[in-house]
Each structure stands twice: as C-alpha cells, then as structure tokens.
C-alpha cells in the first residue's frame, strides 16, 4: 500500500514538473506569417541567445532568397541581417547571432522572388540564455 502511495506521489510530481516546465517555455518556437506574396512557417528549435538556426519554410509563393534580421523594439536593439541558405526547395535556414538577449523580438523575413520583394514580421520570444 505504502509503495502504491509513493508511486502515485512520484507520478504526480512528474506531471507537475512537466506542466510547469512547459508553461515556463524553453520549447521550440513555431509561428506562421502570411503576406500578400508569400506565406512562411518559421521554426526556431532553440529560442536562445547567441548563434541559433532559424528555419523558414515558404508555404505559399515562390521565393528565391530569404534574409532574416531581428529587432527588439522594447530595447531598441537591432542585429545584422543573415542571409538564409536554401537547404531544399522552399526550406531556408539562417544561422547567426540574431538575438542578443532574452525577451520578445520582432523577426523580419525579407523574401524575394519573381513575385517581388516582401518583408514579413513576426514575433518570437527568446527564453534561453546562451
């Protein structure tokens, strides 16, 4: 009986930790942004300060090139634009020092292609220190 109670307490503790961990963030960031010419799905596997890859999948429109830059409007921080490499058709990966601190950043995706140039802006929350 005692063993059962201990087991139940352990399971409960694990559930609480999991829920708290999920609530406090730290997981990957997935956002979509739709413009007039292009639509993208952005995946940041590790929303961390420092050098991180940002995946941009173009889900609508025909983009030849994608450049990624970030601005933290609260602080007035702006980081250099990173040109994304096309890993496979429609999948671009930009890897660079986009985020210099934790907090909410405006991620600007400058897409260009036969349809013209368009910049889509989406918000990402950076939760992990380097």
> 52 forms bridges with which residues in the sheet?
96
Residues in the chain: 130
Which residue lies nearer to another protein by CB, 59 or 83? 59
| CA angle centred on 52, ends 48 and 54, rounded to 5° | 110
For residues 66 and 30, give the distance between their C-alpha atoms in angstroms, rounded to a whole number. 17
Which residue lies nearer to another protein by CB, 39 or 112? 39
Could you tell me the smallest distance in angstroms from the CB atom of residue 71 to another protein? 5
What residues line the site for another protein (CB under 8 A)?
Answer: 31-35, 39, 60, 71, 73-78, 102-104, 108, 121, 123-125
Could you tell me the smallest distance in angstroms from the CB atom of residue 103 to another protein? 4
């Amino acid at each position: 009986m005692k063993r059962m109670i201990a087991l139940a307490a352990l399971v409960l503790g694990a559930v609480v930790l999991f829920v708290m961990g999920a609530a406090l963030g730290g997981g990957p960031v997935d956002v979509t942004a739709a413009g007039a010419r292009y639509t993208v799905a952005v995946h940041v596997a590790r929303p961390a300060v420092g050098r991180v890859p940002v995946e941009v999948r173009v889900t609508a429109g025909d983009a030849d090139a994608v450049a990624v830059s970030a601005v933290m409007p609260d602080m007035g921080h702006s980081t250099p634009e990173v040109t994304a490499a096309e890993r496979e058709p429609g999948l671009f990966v930009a890897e660079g020092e986009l985020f210099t601190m934790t907090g909410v950043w405006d991620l600007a995706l400058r897409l260009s292609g036969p349809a013209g140039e368009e910049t889509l802006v989406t918000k990402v929350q950076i939760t992990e220190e380097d």
